[in-house]
Structure 1
Amino acid sequence: MFIAFEGGEGAGKSTQIELLKNYLTERGHDVELTREPGGTPVAEAMRDYVLNPANTIDALEECFIIATGRASHVAHRIRPALAAGKTVITDRFVYSSYVYQGIAGGLGLEKAKRINEPAIDGCEPDLIILLDIEASTGVARARQAKDGGDRLDQASMAFHEQVNAGYRTIVDDRWAVIDANRDVAAVFDDIVHVMTDRGLCA
């Protein structure tokens, strides 16, 4: 199966992904962890460029750069892992572009979707987990953890509030929205309950 984690900065995606990997591995899954931007050498190079605070990038440029990396990620990492019978968990997927560049960045949701459509080429997760956190709480966490934060962490609070609001507008029945303002154990319990209810794990 293919699971994507989404959410604003500092939502705790990395922590929850590691917990879920351990949980699924104990139950016999062969788990492949990956991330966006990134996941392949070319996409990781693009990640470094996009997140570097020294670079000034508009939403259109950012969307195309990340979509190019995403095409590499899907073709050379995600699809081969799924074909090999692995469970793939990614820290962010295409929905981050819909929100960060399309909605909060002002590019437009439909334009962000059109740019990314050939990059994902029909590859969609079985479950998208949105870790929903207050923007001020998440950004404070991210900036502290990353010694000031990367280029996106350093964006205005208004931008981060638009990110959070944007995620809520694109949620559909494939998504599970989980309150990430709570402690780690409570959040993970909800993730396990969602996956069990949807028949994705025992």
Structure 2
Amino acid sequence: MTADAAPSPVPAAAADRSRATGLFITFEGGDGVGKTTQAALLEEWLTDAGRTVVRTREPGGTEVGVLIRDIVLHHRGEVAARAEALLYAADRAHHVETLVRPALRRGEVVIQDRYLDSSVAYQGAGRVLGRDEVRDLSLWATEGLLPDVTVLLDLDPAAARARLDADDKPFDRLESEKEHFHARVREEFLALAAAEPARFLVLDASLPADELAAAVRERVSAVLA
């Protein structure tokens, strides 16, 4: 699916910011771009600075999420596209209610690998279910909770696939999709970032890990200040 227009920013009423002094940071991008590495580096830096950090992921950040993750990523049979989108939304609703919001209310920093932008990119664009429909579903599931900072690690899908091949691990259901699927996903991520520049930090994931980490720290420092 080629986007006809950039997605509209979420209305202010939908973006729930009512949470103590916590900070919500998400990492987004295609498979193999280095989200896990950068999340770990940021966690280490914040912890050394004396912040309490909760590092988590979607799907799979809770016991319920682990079960859902196994279905959406590792189930050998077919999962209908709409059912897949609903499963991700169910995981997100439970995850936010039981883990993310409580941590934010305690004033902690939540660092999360993937959030609702991944659903918009993978199910909305990749599965061609529709950007607005998938986004609205996630906003309803999370009662409008949006991250303070979203780091988008951008990389050409072919380069990302080469990294995955080098890992020599079995591909999950989404990693196994064809090149045109991942091209739609990348295009949608970039469209989302263009629509919300105040929230997104877009970085070239081909850069060295330490350069990327420094850019992330600079952005997070500004928000904390």
TM range (shorter): over 0.9
Q: Does 1:99 align with 2:121?
A: yes
- Out of 105, 123, 138, which is 1:116 matched to? 138
* Corresponding residue for residue 139 of structure 1: 161
- Residue 40 of structure 1 corresponds to 62
Query: Which shows bigger deviation, 9-18 or 50-59?
Result: 50-59
1:157 lines up with 2:179 in the alignment: yes
3-state SS in 2 of match to 1:112: helix
**Counterpart of 1:69?**
91
Mean CA deviation greater in 87-96 or 110-119 = 110-119
Single out whichever of 132-141 and 10-19 deviates more from structure 2: 132-141
Q: Find the partner of 2:191 among 165, 169, 178.
A: 169
TM-score (norm 1): 0.94
Letter in 1 for 2:220: M
How many angstroms apart in 2 are the aligned matches of 1:146 and 1:165? Answer: 27
Q: Structure 1: which 4+ aligned runs deviate by more than 6 Å?
A: none
Residue by residue, what CA displacement relative to the aligned partner does 1:61-87 show, whole Å, maximum 9, x if unpaired? 110011001110000010111112210
Task: Choose which of 166, 172, 180 in structure 1 pairs with 2:205.
Answer: 180
CA distance in 2, matches of 1:51, 1:185: 30
- After superposition, the Cα gap between the structure-2 partners of 1:141 and 1:61, relative to the gap in structure 1 and judged at 3 Å, is same
Aligned residue number for residue 59 of structure 1:
81
Contact conserved, 1:143 with 1:153, CA < 8 A, in 2? Answer: no
Match of 2:152 in 1: 130
- Residue identity matched to 1:180: A
- Using the aligned pairs only, state the percent identity: 36
Q: CA deviation at 1:97?
A: 0.4
Q: Do structure 1's residue 49 and structure 2's residue 74 form an aligned pair?
A: no
Unpaired stretches in structure 1, ≥5 consecutive residues: none
Question: How many equivalent pairs are there?
Answer: 200
Q: Which moved more, 1:11-20 or 1:181-190?
A: 181-190
Distance of 2:70 and 2:59 partners within structure 1: 9
Structure 2: runs of 5 or more not aligned: 1-22
